[in-house]
Amino acid sequence: MDFRYTDEQSQLRKAVREFAEQEIGPHVQEWDEHQTFPVEVVKELGSLGYLGSVFPEEYGGAELDYVSYCLIIEELARVDPSVGLIVAAHTSLCSNHIYLAGNEEQKRRYLPKLASGEWIGCWSLTEPEAGSDAGGTRSVAVRNGDGWILNGAKTFCTNAHHADVCVAMAVTDRAASQHGISAFVIEKGTPGFRLGRKEKKMGVRASATGEVIFEDCRLPGRQLLGLPGEGFVDSLRTLDGGRISIAALSIGTAQGAYDAAILYSKHRRQFGRFISEFQAIQHKLADMATDIDAARLLTYRAATMHSRGENVNKESAMAKLFASEMGVRVCNEAVQIHGGYGYIQEYGVEKFYRDIRLMTIGEGTSEIQRMVIARQLLKA
């Protein structure tokens, strides 16, 4: 075990932090208020190599390990969790599903454009009636000669309204249950593929979340991703990696709130002293820092195992469960340390408090993570 970042990881962390503070920081409040998707920043992240970080160079990636990927997500989320979420959905859901299940032609067509930011990706599993129970997918794809015709609607799709490429799951053989769901890659502009409602959200408001709709959407056979009927199983494999990124997103969000709280505690005076001199505030800060570090260790363990190609079903669920719930605790305390100012927009922590709330829900709720973990524990 080695608990230090490598020199490359430290440099990466510094570079992403500088970029986030300079290029994202000044716009965070405005993007949140107007629900502005920061498309130019996303493109810039692509040109810096941060959108294809974990993929091989031959597909336009930077071939970094998963801890490095976590650092990118953490540092973006520390300044704006919305940007962290956009990158996470693009990379570890859309691109990674294509990388895991795609054939050579699909990888060569999509991954370089997704890695460079030329194209933005989204990934659509959830439906109005199939959330935690994603195996209950109702969208259908029926064979049409060599191709497929898709019908159905997906909901809560991150990046949907700005995506050039969508990976979506649909039932191809209802009798085969979870082995009867297939994945498809759909390009923007495909007839029968359109966007529905864009949601108005509590937090991560600069990330666009919305519906994608398929109405007799005709796809050539080459748009099937992976084997017929294996789209759901491939989705679960994709989510194993995705959950590590939600853990990293939670850590970054918590770190941003903690950094604001410690700074504030050293400036705010009450009863003639800085509030950081009160033991009650010191204990809060100590608990917050300990919580964040514990989440990091769980997350980097899962990330390291993932980079080695090991099964991380339990470890990524543990990291996601702990880090997201930790993030809620830390952001809550950051607001408390700010007193009334924590409730006021310009101090920033109220936004972290709103943003973090997604993390115990997206990519599997805490209840579902506990089910995943327990299933693995009871297998042993």
Does position 363 interact with ligand FAD (CB under 6 A)? The reply is: yes
- State in Å, rounded, how far the first CA of the chain is from the last one: 25
Is 192 near ligand FAD (CB under 6 A)?
no
Q: Minimum CB separation from ligand FAD for residue 50, in Å?
A: 19
Dihedral angle sign, alpha carbons of residues 159, 19, 254, 92: positive
Number of residues that bind ligand FAD (CB under 6 A): 21
Residues numbered 290-309 forming contacts with ligand FAD, rule: CB under 6 A: none
Q: Angle CA(209)–CA(215)–CA(221) in degrees, nearest 5? A: 100
Q: Which of 140, 153, 305, 361 binds ligand FAD (CB under 6 A)?
A: 361
Angstrom distance (rounded) from CA 21 to CA 260: 13
Work out which of 158, 172, 276, 369 binds ligand FAD, going by CB under 6 A.
158
Span from 54-62, 264-272, 340-348, 364-372 in contact with ligand FAD (CB under 6 A): 364-372
The DSSP output letter for 336 is: H
Contact call for residue 358 and ligand FAD (CB under 6 A): yes
Sole window of 33-41, 121-129, 211-219, 299-307 interacting with ligand FAD (rule: CB under 6 A): 121-129
Q: Is 89 in the site for ligand FAD (CB under 6 A)?
A: yes
Amino acid at 55: F
**To the nearest whole angstrom, how small is the minimum distance from the Cβ of residue 130 to ligand FAD?**
7
Question: Minimum Å distance from CB 371 to ligand FAD?
Answer: 6
Residues contacting 163, CB < 8 A, separation 6+? 94, 119, 120, 121, 122, 188
Q: Does 126 bind ligand FAD (CB under 6 A)?
A: yes
Residue 367 in the binding site for ligand FAD (CB under 6 A): yes
Among the residue ranges 47-55, 117-125, 294-302, 331-339, the one whose residues contact ligand FAD (CB under 6 A): 117-125
* Residues forming the active site: 363
Angle subtended at Cα 56 by Cα 323 and Cα 363, rounded to the nearest 5 degrees: 30
Least Å from the CB of residue 94 to ligand FAD: 8
The pattern of x and - marking residues 207 through 246 that bind ligand FAD according to CB under 6 A reads: --x-------------------------------------
Torsion of the alpha carbons at 186, 39, 245 and 363, rounded to the nearest 10: -50
Contact assessment for residue 203 and residue 173, using Cβ atoms and an 8 Å cutoff: no
Distance CA 66, CA 61 (A): 13
- Report CA-CA distances (Å) from 323 to 112, 180, 247, 278: 31, 33, 5, 27
DSSP H helices in the chain: 7-19, 28-34, 39-47, 66-79, 81-88, 96-101, 104-116, 231-265, 279-307, 313-337, 349-356, 366-379
CB of 269 to ligand FAD, least distance (A): 39
Considering only residues 12, 125, 150, 225, which one is a binding residue for ligand FAD as defined by CB under 6 A? Answer: 125
Binning the chain into helix, strand and coil, the percentages to the nearest 5 are 60, 15, 25
Contact positions toward ligand FAD, by CB under 6 A?
89, 123-126, 131-132, 156-158, 201, 204, 209, 358, 361-365, 367-368
